Amino acid sequence: MRNNSLAMLGTIAAIGILAWWIGFFDPTTCTPDVQVDGWTSCEQIAAERNIALGVLIAIVITALVVTLLRYLRNRRG
């Protein structure tokens, strides 16, 4: 068995997506009365979480594509 760091990174990112989904943050349920000036708003938190989800998805797709291309290249040669 070979060490495939990219596949491990993709797996960890996939677990991160699962964690993101389990800990879903809905800004509509956030109470504005509790908001304190100078702290991050609920909308900003939701936007940052969506950016993080996009990055995790990109990592998983990149790892999957590169791993498959390596596998197909090694299988031919």
pTM: 0.73
User: Does residue 32 lie in a domain region?
Assistant: no
How many domains, in total, are found in the chain? 1
Q: What is the pLDDT of residue 57?
A: 93
pLDDT classification of 75: cutoffs 50, 70, 90: confident
Identity of the amino acid at 19: A
User: Does residue 35 lie in a domain region?
Assistant: no
Minimum mean pLDDT among 4-18, 32-46, 60-74: which range?
Answer: 32-46
Mean of all residue pLDDT scores within the chain:
82
Q: What is the pLDDT of residue 59?
A: 92
Sorted by sequence, the CB contacts under 8 Å of residue 64 that are 6+ apart come out as 10
Provide the domain limits for residue 54.
5-21+40-76
Q: Are 9 and 63 in contact (CB under 8 A)?
A: yes
